[in-house]
Structures are given as C-alpha cells and as structure tokens.
Amino acid sequence: MIAMQYKVKLPDDFDMNIIRKRVIDNGRKTDGFQDLIFKAYLIAVKDNHSALRNEYAPLYLWRDSKGMNKFIWNGFYDNILNSFGWQKINIGVQLLSEIRDDFGTAHFCLEAKRAIPVCSKMQELEFSANYSNFVGRVLIYNPDKWECSEYYFFKSLPEKTDDMDIYEILHISM
C-alpha cells in the first residue's frame, strides 16, 4: 500500500470556510475512487486545537499505484494545481494499519512524525502512542528520508501530546 499527502500551507488570515465549502461541494467525488482505501480530508485551523498554521492536508492510502497514478496524471490533481499551485506530494509506504468498521465516522486525526534512527540492524517500527479509543491508525514510513508518520483517527477530540499535530476531518472517502 502507498500513502500520499500534500500539505497546503495557507495564510494566517485565510478563511478556512473556503476549504470547508470545497470539501462539501467536491469531497464525495473521491468516494469509491479506483484503488483508494481512504482519503481523509484534513484541515488545521490556526489557534484551534493548538494549530500553529492554517493548512489543508489530505491524506490518501492506496492499494497500489494504479489509482494513485490515475489521480495524479488524469486530471484529478489538476484541481489542486489550479486552486493552490504546485504542491510537493509526500509519498510513503504503509507498514502497519488498523481500520475499524466505524472508521468513516472519524472527526479528528493526530499525526506524529519521527525520524527512523540510524542502526546496524533494522527493527520493525511500532506505533508509539497507546490510544484505545481510535477508529483507525496507520504507520507510514519513507526510506528516502528515513522518517515515519503515525496517524490516529478518532470520533471525538482525543488528548493530544506536544509532539503531535491535530487535524479536523471534513470527509473520508472510501
């Protein structure tokens, strides 16, 4: 499985209701998209839930590259280019995931990023947080940067630690 995410950093005075309306109007267009396990429409609003900036940061998990390639190269990603300009798409490999039956009801997502330390023998990565009330979680690694990201999905606002970013989920396509 392949994960992809682009993080559109928006000005502090940007009206995030523009993004909310965009997702209301267009979010369902990715429901049932080829090879898409899920797309979580994530936003951070400056000063809400300790967010340092306004950001639109959709996260995708793909079964394989066919659907991802279709999304990027067959006109769908052009909507991002036309609205926000050229964006770097971060790509990673899913190592661990647990998606529960009620995953589609998630309203919040926590993201923890960490470096994968240099070592002489590779050891399996594990989730670092011990939440029990999540409806989904995914651990993604990027061997190009030797980093990993953990995403935890919740129905209600979870307790956050200082080393995590919190996002509101506007829609989940599956």
**Torsion of Cα atoms, 89 then 20 then 103 then 161, to 10°:** 70
Q: Which domain holds residue 82?
A: 2-173
Taking residues 59-88, report their average pLDDT.
96
Q: What is the mean pLDDT of residues 34-42?
A: 98
Domain count, the chain: 1
Q: What is the mean pLDDT of residues 105-134?
A: 93
> Residue 61: what pLDDT?
98
Q: Tell me the whole-structure pTM to 2 decimals.
A: 0.95
Domain with residue 112: its CATH number is 3.30.70.100
Top-confidence residue, 53 or 158 = 53
Q: What percent of the chain has pLDDT over 70?
A: 99
Q: What is the mean pLDDT of residues 126-143?
A: 95
* Band (124; pLDDT cuts 50, 70, 90): confident
What's the 3-state SS for the chain? CEEEECCEEECCCCCCHHHHHHHHHHHHHHCCCCCEEEEEEEEECCCCCCCCCEEECCEEEECCHHHHHHHHHCCCCHHHHHHHCCCCCEEEEEEEEEECCCHHHCCEEEEEEEECCCCCCCCCCCCCCCCCCCCEEEEEEECCCCEEEEEEEECCCCCCCCCEEEEEEEEEEC
Supply the pLDDT for residue 50: 84
Q: Which residues of 83-98 are buried (b: 16+ CB within 10 A; e: fewer)?
A: eeeebeebbbebbebe
